[in-house]
Amino acid sequence: MTLAAATNENLANISNTLIYSAMAVYTLAFFAYIAEWLFGSRSKVARTAAALTAKSDASAKAPAVTAKTAGGTTVLERPKVVTRSVAGARDVPDGPGAHGGDEQGDLYGRIAVSLTVLAFLVEFGGVLARALSVERAPWGNMYEFNITFSTVAVGVYLTLLALKKNVRWMGLFLVTTVLLDLGLAVTVLYTASDQLVPALHSYWLYIHVSTAILCGAVFYVGAVSTILYLFKDSYENKLASGGTPGRFATSVQERLPASASLDKFAYRVNAAVFPLWTFTIIAGAIWAGDAWGRYWGWDPKETWAFITWVAYACYLHARATAGWKGRKAAYIALIAFACWLFNYYGVNIFVSGKHSYAGV
């Protein structure tokens, strides 16, 4: 064994150690987010909605009337009741970390974010060590794609926080899925550090795959927001119709932003990254032309990338169509993200094609 090979093996082992260390820190962050949700107060939106509901109930019990005189006749009018639309008045989502006035809950939230930053740095170090161990881009197989994808997803979340977006409500769901992703990576998808097959030796590997990872991370953020929107919208509808949700459901839902804020947030992130996904497909076609002598051959990976593009295009169109806003458009968004997931996991594992060299 040469000295260079031994050094590469050492870097690969360091990468593995850092990935496991990142999982440990993410686990601590998970418990800190749990503590924030348990001890933090409700969101401002939830408290406003609760106050309005209390006022509406009081008005229903002792309705006040106003008198108008029209042509000598006195007309009594019942006061108008403010509806749930006020709950979505805020443009930026709030929730844990944005409620204010609860030092204990905010302390746990700050600890959770700090641990998330630490875990992100450790995981980034693991991805970097993996790249240095073979002196190439660290996304030559599904294991490397997974660890890079989860790193970028956390990076997107932290970037939103750095831009003063109140998205700490997403932290618990983020670290949970990141832990599941890394657990799958180190057990089922793990592949020893090795060199690439000749077809992948191209500068397009850095361009095409990196943009695909970034798009997937942002699509993931949009999917989480969409799922939470559907739950929060059902909760708000139940309250508006006079229903009484369970105590656990109330405790969770009142710590989420308003459904209108979640819906708008999901739309914005999906719309922002859609042009980059378009570029990703074009870049892949150009790379295919260089590697295989044709730009498009309806390979399973190409086909499902195009299906994903169509699905997200339908979602954006639905958002612009009055009859398809809200829940209908949200379902299309989830179908689109499911297509993206199948394009990565399903096609690579269950379908054979020219992209099969990515391996498991």
Q: pLDDT digit of tens for each residue in the chain (360 aa)? A: 344 443 488 888 999 999 999 999 999 999 999 988 887 655 444 444 444 444 444 444 444 444 454 455 444 444 443 334 433 334 344 445 444 445 556 788 899 999 999 999 999 999 999 999 888 888 878 898 899 999 999 999 999 998 878 888 899 999 999 999 999 999 988 888 776 666 667 788 888 889 999 999 999 999 999 999 999 998 888 888 887 777 766 777 777 888 889 999 999 999 999 999 999 999 988 988 887 778 888 888 889 999 999 999 999 998 887 778 788 899 999 999 999 999 888 887 777 656 555 555
Residue at token pair 């308003």: 258
Taken in order 273, 256, 235, 87, the sign of the CA dihedral is negative
**Residue 64 confidence (pLDDT):** 44
* Cα separations in angstroms, 130 against 41, 202, 205, 278: 42, 18, 16, 29
Q: Are 150 and 214 in contact (CB under 8 A)?
A: no
**Residue 246 confidence (pLDDT):** 72
* Cα separations in angstroms, 254 against 168, 174, 251: 14, 19, 6
- pTM greater than the 0.75 cutoff: yes
Q: Are 168 and 96 in contact (CB under 8 A)?
A: yes
- Cα separation, 68 vs 96, in Å, equals 46
**Contacts for 169 with CB less than 8 Å, ≥ 6 apart:** 43, 93, 94, 95, 96, 97, 98, 228, 255, 256, 257
Q: Are 119 and 26 in contact (CB under 8 A)?
A: yes
**Residue 45 confidence (pLDDT):** 42
